[in-house]
A and B are shown apart, each in its own frame.
Chain A
Amino acid sequence: MSGRAWKFGDDISTDLVAAGRYAYLRTNLPELAKHVLEDARDEFRAQVKPGDFIVGGGNFGLGSSREHAPRIIKIAGVSCIAAKSFARIFFRNCINIGMPAVRVDTDKIDEGDELELDLKGGVLRDVTKGIELSFPPYPKVMADILEAGGLVAYLKKNKEFAL
């Protein structure tokens, strides 16, 4: 998958991704997605294109467990989130909904760079800069969940967890 980079700073909380004041839209994800990341970068929601990448700093996704946050990022068309580090629950949520979240040194990536993800190879390519950034491999269960397209699909196929 490939797309353009949207740069964000450190500590993008789930409150910034899916704000509490839109909590009334919690059961209507397509509507909630219209407000995705509104309080972090207001222009993002109107201009994001299918396949684009979110490129964050440290501790991406801290805060609430609301899975709505990665889900509306996915609904907005984002194909992958790259960050220096992720908050624990958010990271799991991404994998569970089949959206790659990869840990790389995002300082090397600039806004608008063309990015390409090679999930199997464990590499994020910055095509604009001609560099490759490798990320640590997922534990087997996470890699399998991601490959299945999410936790529900994984369990339908495997019936139970295989570590």
Chain B
Amino acid sequence: MPQTLAEKLISMHAGREVKAGELAVVDVDFAYVQDWTGPLTVDVIGELGGALAVDPARVAVFIDHASPSSFKEVSTGHIKLRDYAAKSGCRLFDIGEGVSHLVLGEKVTSPGMLMVGADSHTCQGGALGAFSTGMGSTDVAVAMSTGKIWMMCPEAVKVVVTGKLPAGVYAKDAILHLIGSIGADGATYQSLEFMGDTVDGLSVTGRTTISSMAVEAGAKCGLFATDGYTRAWLAEHNRESDYKEIRHDEGASYARVVEIDVSKLVPMVSFPHKVDNTRPITHPDCNDVVCHQAYLGSTTNGYYEDFEAAARILRGRHVAKGSRLVLTPGTKDVYRKMMKTGLMDVFLDAGGVVNSPGCGACPGSHAGILGDGENCIASINRNFKGRMGNPASFVYLASPATVAASAVEGRLADPRRFI
């Protein structure tokens, strides 16, 4: 039977051919937690009473959500995670290493892998041709302890993206547009599988942005086939030998097909408090939206190329009076490269403030919490009420370029005017 990417990847880990809709027990290549969900996972591993880690090389703990911690309670939770890592021998990525999914994209995630993580944005591993999906603390505890988990093979939605992205329009705009079209539950339980000539020419950073936001349409995963871009990314991170050809079969069967022509797409903004509440930047609603804070970073836009797009606009310019710019490099390597290439100077000269690598202000517990009534234009993935730490604040989602343009103008702004 011709297979979708999800069917192919799940079959590879179930030891038999698995079709969409079927349940399977799969071998998990890599399982991980972060510091929001991890302490609970450690408790559950204790309750299970089996191995602490089925294979320490295939298990990791990330301290990225509070990095470094701002609360004594969180710091004590971190002790629990470090203790688990020491006892189990698993890999520990401590404060300042970066966001789990982005660090894994640099160091671990490989075509053909099956990964589970106690974080909803685990789906971004699909950018490198891995079946990677988020689960709760208990499911991931089982995967870490036993190396296995059950799952349903999702039916797939074929998303065909065609056309050349216009200047000032990015992968983030394309995925916001898609979610705005199909809705926040438009792909619940399904696998979003991206193809088409836009995707064929899209960098791994752009694919990472798209995969990470698959969950914002309810999807279980957001998958890309592998190609020269995948190989180049792995080579850049000194692991070209991890490359594998992963492609869907011609004639595979899809629940539906969604077609997007990006050649006329304009920068998109998600309005509070729903990701699918999108508007083109040219919409009248985008006039006169004051941006008290502009925020760059997050697992969705935390790689170097994302900051480069923002820096192109900020170079030689300054954040508007009354606005502030906060940025959080996604990983330590991104941080280092930003220093080496002078990007950091661009942000500092523009008036930006830099957090240590990690999740930063995105999950709302530190490093840029908003005040009552404030608006933030952010390159993050969610704008639910309270997301950035204050239910009386308002989060607008956009590409790094739109965030940069809005920082300069102090209100929602079209990045195309700066390019």
Contact = CB atoms under 8 A, between A and B. Distances in A.
Identify the interface centre among B138, B220, B274, B391: most chain A CB within 10 Å of its CB.
B138
Contacts, number: 147
A80 interface: no
Contact of B74 (A11, A15, A26): A26
A59 B384 CA distance: 13
A92 B389 contact: no
A92 B220 CA distance: 12
Contact of B386 (A21, A26, A161, A163): A21
B142 A155 contact: yes
Contacts of B76: 27
A26 B36 contact: yes
The DSSP consensus for interface residues of chain A is loop
Contacts of A58: 185
B142 to A, nearest CB: 7
Interface stretch (B129-137, B316-324, B405-413): B129-137
A157 to B, nearest CB: 12
Given A11-B184, A24-B73, A87-B188, A155 B48 contact: yes
Interface residues of A, number: 42
B365 A65 contact: no
A79 interface: no
A25 to B, nearest CB: 6
Contacts of A85: 185, 188
Interface residues of B, number: 56
Interface in B287-308: none
Contacts of A88: 188-189, 218, 220
B365 A24 contact: yes
B384 A13 contact: yes
Interface in A55-108: 58-59, 62-68, 71, 85, 87-89, 92-93, 96-97
Interface in A10-38: 11, 13, 15-16, 19-21, 23-28
A36 to B, nearest CB: 13
B48 A62 contact: no
B227 to A, nearest CB: 28
A66 B343 CA distance: 34
Contacts of B260: none
A27 B73 contact: yes
Contacts of B142: 151, 155
Contact of B23 (A23, A27, A65, A141): A141
A43 interface: no
Contacts of A155: 48, 142
A151 B24 CA distance: 16
B390 A67 contact: no
B5 interface: no
Contacts of A151: 138-139, 142
Nearest to A97: B138
Contact of A16 (B152, B385, B388): B385
Identify the interface centre among A13, A58, A64, A150: most chain B CB within 10 Å of its CB.
A64
Interface in B112-151: 117-120, 122, 134-139, 142, 146, 148, 150
A110 B76 CA distance: 43
A100 B73 CA distance: 31
Nearest to A86: B188
A139 interface: yes
A59 B215 CA distance: 12
B190 to A, nearest CB: 9
A96 B136 contact: yes
B309 interface: no
Contacts of A64: 36, 119-120, 363
Given A27-B39, A66-B36, 14 more contacts: A11-B274, A20-B386, A21-B389, A23-B364, A24-B74, A39-B385, A59-B218, A62-B185, A66-B136, A67-B118, A85-B188, A92-B139, A139-B23, A160-B25
CB-based closest 7 A-B pairs = A20-B364, A67-B136, A24-B71, A93-B136, A23-B365, A59-B185, A13-B384
Interface of A: 11, 13, 15-16, 19-21, 23-28, 39, 58-59, 62-68, 71, 85, 87-89, 92-93, 96-97, 139, 141, 150-152, 155-156, 160-161, 163
Interface of B: 23-25, 36-37, 39-40, 44, 47-49, 65-66, 70-71, 73-74, 76-77, 80, 117-120, 122, 134-139, 142, 146, 148, 150, 152, 184-185, 188-189, 218, 220, 274, 363-365, 369, 382, 384-391
21 contacts: A15-B364, A15-B382, A16-B385, A20-B388, A21-B386, A27-B39, A27-B77, A27-B80, A39-B391, A62-B184, A62-B185, A65-B120, A65-B122, A88-B188, A88-B220, A139-B23, A141-B150, A150-B138, A151-B138, A160-B148, A163-B24
